[in-house]
Amino acid sequence: MPIATVNPANGETLKTYQAMGEEEVERRLQLAEATFRTYRTTTFDERARMLHRAADLLDEDQDEAARMLTTEMGKPLRQARAEAAKCAKAMRWYADNAADLLADEEPDASDVKDSGASRALVRYRPLGPVLAVMPWNFPLWQVVRFAAPALMAGNVGLLKHASNVPQTALYLEDLFHRAGFPEGTFQTLLIGSAAVDDVLRDERVRAATLTGSEPAGRAVASTAGEMIKKTVLELGGSDPFVVMPSADVERAAQVAVTARVQNNGQSCIAAKRFIVHTDVYDAFAERFAAGMKALTVGDPMEDGTDVGPLASEQGRADLEELVDDAVRSGATVLCGGERPDGPGWFYPPTVLADITREMRIHREEAFGPVATLYRAADLDEAVLIANDSPFGLSSNVWTRDEAEVDRFVRDLEAGGVFVNGMTASHPALPFGGVKRSGYGRELSGHGIREFCNITTVWHGA
């Protein structure tokens, strides 16, 4: 895949970049290692000052940055602005909280007395250069939610971004440089996917994080395992959205539309499988399909647009294959289901009912504005359908019954359970999944500690 900006709204190639050669990659690896030796000794106050400056610069750049995101991957412009604002918020949160999150932990002296210690503590120390392999769907946010905690912990970052968002990748390197971070603290590697393995195998790279597809996660995890390096993986998701009889069905249907089509439906944590109790199924299905059908699909630069194009021609083709397979196998199309004529990689908001286990879309992630609708006889069947997936990123549950909430929280196989609302990520809350959705956590205190050397310090009597 070429490293290029291709406008998904019309298919026009706007800018192409030459991949970095071995010499340039080597130079950047040397610089990362050298920078880490001194950057690791900076104080939390120094790091926080620079990260606050990066947040201020991003706020100043918000309109320009948003247009860049929309041009490169097609999300509606207002959502791109919101993404930039969210990144600045996360930077400030980690700047303000990292020192407390990584403060020394000292057990009670009586607990370690029998070890012969007069004192013992746990200290969090940085690991070194961390490789981040990041996706195109949230080109700023996915990187910042790694970079902000990693830099505040004293690590340095090496970014291998998706090949269709090179301008965003270069912008991020420049942003941190302008904010005052030493050269080499955060560097972009303009390389193809085939070059990732060599970088990950380099002994100067101490750990890696990847957000992306399951095959990409397998490849990184395999190499990292061979090299015995720490990894965090956030992979695909096919999140359930369960609606029970006690729910506010009208509100649930409204939120369901947003939950499915956010980011043009190209989000790992977008709700994808809508599992509705039979008592409210018809009412929900009618409202949900009507809401999806009413969305405005068009130019993502226009503020009135709800859904822009998919990010790539291949992405649209993959989505069409899933829909066509489901329809051939008996799925009912409640709305959408056919690509529009004209330029760009657009696909209409689509709702499919009568889904069966034999359909590919039941097992595979639909990365676009396509929803699948299931009918459940009771709570037990709702849980069975929800868990009948290789993925386990997040989940949404709509009920006013606290006993049902407790059951869902206990039984759903997911990294998050959002009750009467849609899944969203927040700096203060851990984010990640189970099963084939990956392992490890981003954000919160859990996220900043993922790339730390958790060090026991023991003092003799």
Catalytically annotated residues: 234, 268
One-letter amino acid for residue 148 of the chain = A
Angle 44-60/166-178 helices, nearest 10 degrees?
130
Q: How far apart are CA 301 and CA 242, in angstroms?
A: 33
Question: Which DSSP helix (H) or strand (E) runs through 253?
Answer: helix 249-261
Nearest to 151 by CA among 309, 35, 287: 35
Q: How are the residues of the chain apportioned to helix, strand and coil, as percentages rounded to the nearest 5? A: 45, 20, 35
Cα separation, 402 vs 405, in Å, equals: 5
CA distance 180 to 200: 27
Token readout for 40 is 């690791």
Residue 274 CA to residue 282 CA, distance in Å, equals 13
The DSSP symbol for 301 reads T
Cα pseudo-dihedral 428, 434, 438, 443, rounded to 10: 0
Radius of gyration in angstroms for the set of CA atoms belonging to the chain, rounded to a whole number = 23
